[in-house]
Amino acid sequence: MKYITSKILLEWLNCVFNPEKYDDFCPNGLQVEGKERIYSIALGVTACELFLQKAIKAKADAVIVHHGLLWKNDNLAISGIKRKRIALCLENKLNVFAYHLPLDDHPEIGNNITLGTLLGFYDIRKNSSNGSMLWLGKSKNLRDMDHLNTIISTKINRASLLIGNPKKNIENIAWCSGGGQKMFSEAIDVGADVYVTGEISEPVVHIARETDIGFICAGHHATERYGIQALGDLLRKTFDIKVEYIEVDNPI
């Protein structure tokens, strides 16, 4: 049965994502060391307890996630939920790899490029502002903002929330997967007619109303499923081992 080593996988992932380029909220790369030989990899959005249990049940030797176990602003104590998750990994010798901003930003398999492609956008490009995580594009044959909202809900298989005039014609679209509501003002500044992201907060509603720029909340988890799945496709093409995406539903 074919395998790769954890060292080879880490080197390959770091070559794909170049984590050293990002000032991130977490350590990108190997967060928990497990077995040296990896025969099977499980992919998911978040290294929550249920995902880890499912990965272990599937006999994965390694997991690769977008939201890992370790965050820079967390309490350093290994207790509570963090202790339970890490204990599961250590007891089962499960390698945990996590890539946050590098997975959002990757130009071919990132969360943003894959989301834009899924939604049928074209002329896709990243905002040229230094360090920006905002992406821009257009969509063909859109009747109005409500039509775009319907397309999004259908494609991601969950109801998205539209703030703004549903009958407004739109041409320029901006988006950022996950919790990108704070980038709404940047989207307005670059001339977007509507902004799509995964989360919403109270001030956003007023900004949308007062600027007449649409805001669509499509779900943090829902908008960040596609990059990790695209990574799975690339892994299968590169290594002759089992690779499986495990979905753990999250309504947010």
**Which uninterrupted H or E stretch holds 48?**
none
Structural contact between residues 35 and 61, judged by C-beta atoms closer than 8 angstroms: yes
Note the pLDDT of residue 84: 98
d(CA 121, CA 75): 40
Q: Is 106 annotated as a binding residue?
A: no
Express each pLDDT in 124-167 by its tens digit.
Answer: 999 988 889 999 999 999 999 999 999 999 999 999 999 999 99
224 labelled as ligand-binding? Answer: yes
Name the residue with tokens 């104590």. 77
Q: What Å distances lie between residue 193 and 82, 174, 178, 200, 214, CA to CA? A: 41, 8, 20, 17, 6
Q: At 123, phi and psi to the nearest 5?
A: 50, 40
- From 208, 226, 127, select the one nearest 175 (Cα to Cα): 127
Question: According to the model, what pLDDT value does residue 188 have?
Answer: 98
> C-alpha 231: how far from its chain's center?
11
Q: At what angle do helices 49-57 and 80-91 cross, to 10 degrees?
A: 10
**Structural domains in the chain plus CATH codes:** 4-99 (3.40.1390.30), 111-223 (3.40.1390.30)
How far apart (Å, rounded) are the C-alpha atoms in residues 37 and 5?
Answer: 5
**Rounded mean pLDDT of the chain?**
98
Cα separation, 211 vs 117, in Å, equals: 27
| pLDDT given for residue 128 in this prediction | 85
pLDDT confidence of residue 184 = 98
Low-confidence residues of the chain: pLDDT under 50: none
From CA 238, how far away is CA 97, in angstroms rounded?
17
pLDDT at 1: 78
Do 56 and 91 meet the contact criterion of CB atoms below 8 Å apart?
Answer: no
66 belongs to an annotated ligand binding site: yes
146 is in an annotated binding site: no
